[in-house]
């Protein structure tokens, strides 16, 4: 089932990230390097980059899904495409 418009507005894309993904992306936004962040969080650079990439991927998925939902509401994409978007939200 698709979320209601109010639910989309109330829940930020940021809320879909794990605490660790939020922490990593916050430090990236402050301009820290992967090596600096990994050291600060006691993680390997590879693990850190996994958190970073997964967080970025989730944010992009939410942004794209919101665009598709908006397009559907305005008659720009089909119901079939919207069902695929809804399935992506369930991941």
Residue 9: per-residue pLDDT = 43
* pLDDT tens per residue across span 17-56: 899 998 998 888 888 899 999 999 999 999 999 998 898 8
**Domain span at 54:** 18-89
Q: How many domains does the chain have?
A: 1
Q: Is the pTM of this model over 0.85?
A: no
59 within a domain of the structure (yes/no): yes
Complete DSSP assignment for 18-48? -HHHHHHHHHHHTT--HHHHHHHHT--HHHH
4 within a domain of the structure (yes/no): no
Local confidence band at 57 (pLDDT 50, 70, 90 cut-offs): confident
């Amino acid at each position: 089932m698709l979320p209601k418009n109010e639910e989309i507005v109330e829940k930020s894309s940021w809320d879909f990230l794990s605490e660790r993904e939020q922490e990593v992306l916050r430090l990236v936004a402050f301009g820290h390097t992967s090596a600096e962040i990994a050291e600060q969080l006691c993680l390997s650079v590879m693990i850190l980059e996994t958190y970073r990439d997964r967080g970025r991927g989730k944010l992009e998925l939410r942004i794209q899904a919101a665009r598709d939902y908006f397009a559907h509401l305005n008659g720009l994409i089909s119901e079939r495409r919207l069902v695929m978007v809804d399935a992506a939200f369930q991941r």
